[in-house]
Structure 1
Amino acid sequence: MEGRAKKLYYLILLGIFSLSFSYPSVYDSRAGKMGAVEEYFIHKLEGDLLIDGNWDKPQWHKADAIHILNNMGQDPGFFPKTQAKLLYDEDHLYGIFQVMDKYVKSVVEDINGPVYTDSCVEFFFSPDENNPLYYFNLEINCGGVALMQFSTEPHKKFKYLLPSDIEKIEIAHSLPKKVFPEIQDEVVWTIEFKMPLNMLSGYSKISDPKPGVVWKGNFYKTATFTSNPHYITWSYVDRPKPDFHLPQFFGTLIFQ
């Protein structure tokens, strides 16, 4: 009996030890330990919202801010501080970014041009609850020029949205459309957008935003062809080389 009691005692200790070291699924580089998948709760907008790039508008006070903190690849010399917020109503999705930045440049002026080579913010999102790996990527440089695609397989099966559809997105930007030469001093810039939901339905099925609906998504900050290149994410992407087109690492967007 004594031997059985000892064996049972050690099994109980082993079970307690194992439970205390159970690991969530995604590594959180900010904390240096394993962390849960990011979640963001999108609140419903009450009333109208003027799209003017003002981060401090009262309507945005209701929205929580996400922080884009997870670096991919080599650490940049200067790490920009980037925040973003989302709101929604029956017909639109609203977003705003605020960036405390240096080495800022914007030279791409054509819709669907390589805006990611400039100082750029990006919002990738999967609006169909039944197909969370199908996603849109909306990329906007600091001059307010947008690129937008819809992908069913990253880097392989995708299409650019028509410029006439992208022009339906109302975009406000605090900096001029063209920023050159590069601004090397510290500067704060914003991007704000208002996106019609019915524009998306021409490319994908949409789970209409309402309380309880869940989309997937990620937020990014990049500046590939500046003197301070960087690739920074909100939801951690577990890859050694920069790649934003990995929907399996998207965070969870929950409509309230």
Structure 2
Amino acid sequence: MISTETVIPFSATGSDMAALTLQHALWNTALQQESQIGIAHDGNGIWLTFDVWDKFLQSRKRSFNDDVHFDNCVEFFFRFPSDIGYYNFEFNCLGSIKAAYGPDRFQRKFLPVAILHKIEQNLQVSISNQNKTGLINWKIGVYISLSTFLFSDISFLQNITCEANFTKCGDMLPQPHYFSWVYIDTPSPDFHRPEFFRPIHFA
């Protein structure tokens, strides 16, 4: 586990972001690729961008809080310093959202659909025969306001240190894969491991 703290910049426009990499291929993932994450905040919410490269693109238009991890999916795990539980936000390449809160993978409460509708999204998929890698590039940008974090008593993000992880998966793709920002030392796929979250400080 990496112990150094990542500083998240204050950015009212979302243009000045900390750049992170999903560098760890986990649980026998054979694909060799890296996806990029951008994160910033404006005091009242979190800006996230996911710049993803995939060999396969497979997705269904799922309902809110459905099993988006079966598709090409990126995930954001996040815990405030005063919380026992943590949040997970999952987005597939069609922009479908699953989000919940709880202390572990089993004891979780879904965020209401009315709240998920307020998460801002910008989605782009690029398939090009000029791409020498043969991979499909898809990007998603989201803004999660503090009002989304229903189970936490937080009024402003600046100058607090939280814990997080960023992950990517595709459980039902022709070649299932699992990538993570922080290395997760478990024998089988399990992103819901807050003991491996890494500190991030909102400057």
Normalised by the length of structure 2, the TM-score is 0.90
Q: For residues 169-201 of structure 1, what are the alpha-carbon distances to aligned partners after superposition, in whole Å with 9 as ceiling and x for unaligned?
A: 01111139xxxxxxxx4111101001110221x
Q: Which segments of 5 or more consecutive residues in structure 2 lack a partner in the other structure?
A: 127-133
Q: Which residue of 1 aligns with 2:82?
A: 130
Q: Counterparts of 2:26 and 2:117 in 1: how far apart (Å)?
A: 31
| Alpha-carbon contact 1:72-1:240 (below 8 Å) kept | no
**Aligned-partner Cα distance in 1 for 2:42–2:100:** 23
> Would you say the 8 A contact 1:143–1:175 is kept in 2?
no
Q: Please give the residue correspondences for 1:136-147 in structure 2 after superposition, counting only pairs within 5 Å.
A: 136-147=87-98
- Is residue 40 of structure 1 aligned with residue 21 of structure 2? no
What's the offset of the Cα at 1:38?
A: 5.2
The one-letter code sitting in structure 2 at the alignment partner of 1:193 is V
Higher normalized contact order (CA 8 Å, seq sep 6+, divided by chain length): 2
Q: CA RMSD in A?
A: 1.7
SS of structure 2 residue aligned to 1:116: helix
What percentage of aligned pairs have identical amino acids?
Answer: 28
2:146·2:155 contact (CA, 8 Å) conserved in 1? no
Aligned length, in residue pairs: 196
- Runs of 4 or more above 3 Å deviation: none
**Residue-by-residue CA offset, 1:124-175 (whole Å, 9 max, x unaligned):** 0002x123x51000000011111000012x1232101111101110111113
* 5+ residue gaps, structure 1: 1-25, 27-35, 50-58, 177-184
Aligned residue number for residue 237 of structure 1? 184
Change (3 A) 1:198 1:89: same
2:18 pairs with 1:64:
yes
Query: What secondary structure does 1:173 align onto?
Result: strand
Q: How does 1:242-253 map to 2 (within 5 A)?
A: 242-253=189-200
Return the alpha-carbon distance in structure 2 between the equivalents of residues 226 and 39 of structure 1. Answer: 34
Question: Which structure has the greater CA radius of gyration?
Answer: 1
Cα shift at 1:232: 1.1
SS, match of residue 137 in structure 2: strand
Q: 1:124 and 1:209 mapped to 2: Cα distance?
A: 16
